[in-house]
A and B are shown apart, each in its own frame.
Chain A
Amino acid sequence: MIASLLAAAGDFTPPVADYHALAPEIVLAVGICLVLLVDLFVEERQRWITSTLAGFVLLGAFIPVVTLAVIGGDVRYGLGGDVLDGRYVIDEYALILKALFLIAGYVVVLMSSDEIESGRYHQGEYYVLLLTSVLGMVMMASSRDLISIFVALEFLSIPAYMLAAWNKRNSKGNEAGMKYYLLGVFASAIMLYGMSLLYGVTGTTLLSEIGPAITANGQFSGIEALAVVFIVVGFAFKVSAVPFHQWAPDVYEGAPTPVTAFLSVASKAAGFVALTTLVFLAFPLASDVYQPFIWVLSAASMTVGNLLALRQTNIVRMLAYSSISQGGFILMPLTVAGEAGVGESALKAVVVYLVVYAATNLGAFAVVIAVSKKTRSGEISSFGGLFSYAPALGVLMTVFLASLAGIPPLGGWFAKFGAFKAVLDAGTNWGYSIAIIAAINTVIAAAYYITVMREIWMKPVPDGDVTPIRTPSSIQAALVITCGATIVLGVLPDLVGRFGDLSDLTGALGG
């Protein structure tokens, strides 16, 4: 046996690592170890250092992303060599998403520091898990191979299961962790089954080779269809698309609010990224299968998410359902991704939507954290009269809600506009019908966002307590970042619009 291994080693050529391209991942990996070590050696009352350190790690990982984007030029392979070529790719599409995950992670760290510190336990571990999850997401952005996608997915999910259960002395916290874990692994299993079928049929794990191989014998086989459906179902769980959404509101409510923000934004975005990569690279010929399927997921997510959001009285649960509905909008362009000539605008629509949604939703959660520090309540009515005693928070929440509702000139309008434009570009009945459903849903969504705005601006303060809210400086920073991004992306959408060229994504793989 050893002999055979040695014999095989003769042909072995070591992979060529592009260290610049891999720098974000390397910085994160080193950073994770560093945070873990620091946590071991500092005293209890200085544990806040871990939070600061985690923030610096994320910013540090952001630097190579910027330099890579500035240098631009050719698509890079993180790991090259004959077999590895094209399996881990750093292109503009990957870079903008890596930037998204790193900044989102940074904002979550800012939002967490106060909340987790006041919990007084396991600060170091919290940030280690958070950074690990972000590392998984950053890897996901570059993964172009079934195996790396799956590894990245587990990498980002497993820490998230633990983070969801962070309020471990609280039954809701336990419920959140347990539910998320069980449904998460269930989804992974289904997805893995689909992947194995796909590998069995096509004989490769490289997405760009799966794409052409899928209808190699001229037509679609039942197993191929099953594989595509299973994989989409697996990701539908991750992105909490209806009808695979039941875990989301309970998990979001039970988890600490910063974790909820993280799950509903970054973790969800990672699911969409994987789904998008798969749809464009591995399933270009399978649109007959995924189009009706994603159409149903998208239409159901927006409609059910909205109708349930209308009835919520708890702000976090309302945001949870609203994020399900927003997920439907992100899925919308993917329904037409396979139509001729539409891929470009569909891909851009998804990328822009993810970035805008991340900024806006994180901001909304940051306000919720700041307000609930004073009111100690998650009810929507606790926002009553917020504008009168905390005008800044009131205005910021208004900005975020208006952006979620899609009112210009805030980021959300352009995200929605891009999604509409993509499906109308297709000019097919699938496209038109989903556009009509989305248009109706836009108006329904405005109703519950405006309910919160009315509480903030026009209702009296519920308990008459008008002491101003002291917002911790870290949350202030988070608010500045998210609000700035929300407004700037609405006024100058081209900033992200130029990323996510389709030719980048597919061209890199000779597809």
Chain B
Amino acid sequence: MDVISDQNWLLSLGTFLPLAGVLVMLLIPKREELLHKQVALATALGTLGVGIYTLIQFDYDKAEQLQFYANTEWISVIKSGYTIGLDGISLPLYFLSMVITVLVMIYSWDHIPSPGNPKAFLILMLVLQTGMAGTFIAQDLILFFVFFEVVLLPMYFMIGVWGGEQRQYASLKFFLYTMFGSALMLVAFLALFYQTDSVSFSIPYLVEQGINIDQDVAIWIFGGMFIGFAVKVPMFPFHTWLPDAHTQAPTQGSVILAAILLKLGTYGFVRIAIPILPQAAVKWAPVIGVLAVIGIIYGALGCLAQKDMKRLIAFSSVAHMGFVMLGISTLTATGINAALFGMVAHGLITGMLFFCAGSIKERYHTLEISRLSGLLIQMPKLGWILGFCAMASLGLPGLAGFWGEFPAILSAYNPAPALNEPLFRVLMVIAALGTVLAAAYLLWLYQRTAFGEPNPEFTGHGHAHAVGAAGNDEHHDDIHDVNVFEWIAWTPLLIAIVVLGVYPQLMFKVMDPAVTQLVEVFNP
């Protein structure tokens, strides 16, 4: 495989820069809260700067090649190298992780969740950033595994310490599910290593060799990776950790979880499982497709049944990731392009929805849908933003969500030649019905929370006492519209949703060469 090794220090810099910030923050005493926020934000901005520079230096005419490629010896005992590189598939996600971290840092400026301690909170976030960016640049299975796992503990603590009432249960569930998945994934990686003459863990090398693995063995290996990645995505039936984790996580945790962490799983399929073991991917594709569609319908029905806004958004993630996985399972350029676009779009939109939910929770101290109403009257700006995001999330053409869902459904009409066409067409129809359900639950959510008169218990002292909602009256002063930090944190996301919706080519043209190369093997 051709690689471009110019500026091969760039990705390492972008990935490990946050750790430099962590070191600085470790030396600053805990009580200097403002300083911590400044250092953390500066670090995140610096990292984003490196990301922007990467974006500029990336050679878009050769997007199918690994660029900024570096390969040095790392653990020679097990023949694993420090192999990193970036192509059109990973570039958008790598950059997205940096953007989201910055925005979350800005949002954290005046939204440090209870029990406080910005030092620890922000340090964990920077460590998370390193893990996420590292996963997207790793071109060696062991390196990938290490970065994939680096994410685990910070998120565990973020949910477990700064989360809601059932944080301990939720964090433990998150931890055990992921641990279980990665154990199987690691076994699969090792099996892959032995099946290819124990020469190297390098992904480009394995992509060349993996095709020679006996199909029966390959199916088993793919199965191990499938569970590892499917837990992270999460796909039905491995999704049960997600609603708990999302609901209990602090807003920042939910945003990062939705925007980046879930993508580590889908990215694993596109980067590792499918290119290395195409012969097994063909066999697994129907399974993935069916589970994806079950996820779409199940997630949508789950949404309709939720009483808690954050839990509803979490279930909608299950449905959206179903579309992504459906696109991947078609093994076509259209489908995988759509999936990659869907990942980024879902990151932006659901991230934004979680921001909204967090801000509503902060003002009303509840996310119970039946208690919220009249957002448009009480907080018109926030209400409109929520409406915008709901529209984007249900896949309204002209906004980013559309370009993830529509082509994914379309691609199922014409799956890769080796796949069962009637099956995928049936899946296509069911998935299309899923979009209707998506419209239903999102519009219903919006109608219940934003329309109507504000709930009297939140409108003022007199009313509150009148309806006897004592215990909430001390919070009335909190209800104010979008504040300046929220504006700064949200505007880039809102703009991106529009820009990518109006001009999706911006991303498709980056990803397409790499994706086309990836699916070549399926088009004999």
Q: A443-B183, A446-B179, A457-B157 are in contact. Are A424 and B194 (CB under 8 A)?
A: yes
Contact of A421 among B78, B119, B153 (CB under 8 A): B78
What residues on B are CB-neighbors of A387 within 8 Å? Answer: 120, 161
What would be 29 A-B contacts, judged by CB atoms less than 8 Å apart?
Answer: A345-B77, A352-B77, A391-B30, A391-B119, A407-B152, A408-B145, A408-B146, A408-B149, A408-B150, A417-B78, A417-B142, A417-B186, A439-B183, A439-B187, A442-B183, A443-B180, A446-B179, A454-B160, A454-B172, A458-B160, A458-B167, A458-B168, A492-B74, A493-B75, A494-B75, A494-B76, A497-B75, A498-B76, A498-B77
Query: In the complex, A443→B77 CA distance in Å?
Result: 25
CB atoms of B74 and A494 under 8 A apart? yes
Contact of B146 among A352, A398, A413, A418 (CB under 8 A): A413
Contact string, A415-448, partner B, CB cutoff 8 A, digits 1/0?
A: 0011011001001000000000001001100100
CB atoms of A407 and B149 under 8 A apart? yes
Q: Does B73 contact A (CB under 8 A)?
A: yes
Q: Does A161 contact B (CB under 8 A)?
A: no
Q: Does A378 contact B (CB under 8 A)?
A: no
Q: A402-B153, A407-B153 are in contact. Are A418 and B190 (CB under 8 A)?
A: no
Q: Which residue on chain B has the smallest CB distance to residue A440? A: B183
Q: Does B175 contact A (CB under 8 A)?
A: yes
Binding site for B on A (CB under 8 A): 345, 348, 352, 387-388, 391, 398, 402, 407-409, 413-414, 417-418, 420-421, 424, 427, 439, 442-443, 446, 450, 454, 457-458, 492-494, 497-498
Binding site for A on B (CB under 8 A): 30, 73-78, 115, 117, 119-120, 142, 145-146, 149-150, 152-153, 157, 160-161, 167-168, 171-172, 175-176, 179-180, 183, 186-187, 190, 194
Minimum CB–CB distance from B292 to chain A (whole Å) comes to 28
Q: Which residue on chain A has the smallest CB distance to residue B123? A: A395
What residues on A are CB-neighbors of B179 within 8 Å? Answer: 443, 446
Q: Which residue on chain B has the smallest CB distance to residue A427? A: B194
Minimum CB–CB distance from B386 to chain A (whole Å) comes to 32
Q: Which residue on chain A has the smallest CB distance to residue B179? A: A446
CB atoms of B78 and A409 under 8 A apart? no
CB atoms of A409 and B168 under 8 A apart? no
Contact of A450 among B115, B119, B172 (CB under 8 A): B172
* Contact count A vs B, C-beta below 8 Å: 73
Minimum CB–CB distance from A352 to chain B (whole Å) comes to 8
What residues on A are CB-neighbors of B187 within 8 Å? Answer: 439
Minimum CB–CB distance from A403 to chain B (whole Å) comes to 11
CB atoms of B75 and A458 under 8 A apart? no
CB atoms of B190 and A424 under 8 A apart? yes
Which of B76, B77, B142 has the most A CB atoms < 10 Å from its CB?
A: B77
What residues on B are CB-neighbors of A424 within 8 Å? Answer: 190, 194
What residues on B are CB-neighbors of A439 within 8 Å? Answer: 183, 187
What residues on A are CB-neighbors of B73 within 8 Å? Answer: 494
CB atoms of A391 and B120 under 8 A apart? yes
CB atoms of B76 and A454 under 8 A apart? no
What residues on A are CB-neighbors of B120 within 8 Å? Answer: 387, 391
CB atoms of B149 and A493 under 8 A apart? no
CB atoms of A420 and B190 under 8 A apart? yes
What residues on A are CB-neighbors of B175 within 8 Å? Answer: 446, 450
Query: In the complex, A398→B75 CA distance in Å?
Result: 25
Query: In the complex, A437→B120 CA distance in Å?
Result: 37
Query: In the complex, A439→B190 CA distance in Å?
Result: 13
Closest 7 CB pairs of A and B: A497-B77, A408-B146, A408-B149, A458-B160, A493-B75, A409-B146, A457-B161
Query: In the complex, A454→B150 CA distance in Å?
Result: 18
Beyond A407-B152, A421-B78, 8 additional pairs, beta carbon < 8 A: A352-B77, A398-B153, A413-B149, A418-B78, A439-B183, A450-B172, A458-B160, A458-B171
Query: In the complex, A388→B176 CA distance in Å?
Result: 25
Contact of A348 among B77, B115, B145, B194 (CB under 8 A): B77
What residues on A are CB-neighbors of B117 within 8 Å? Answer: 388, 391
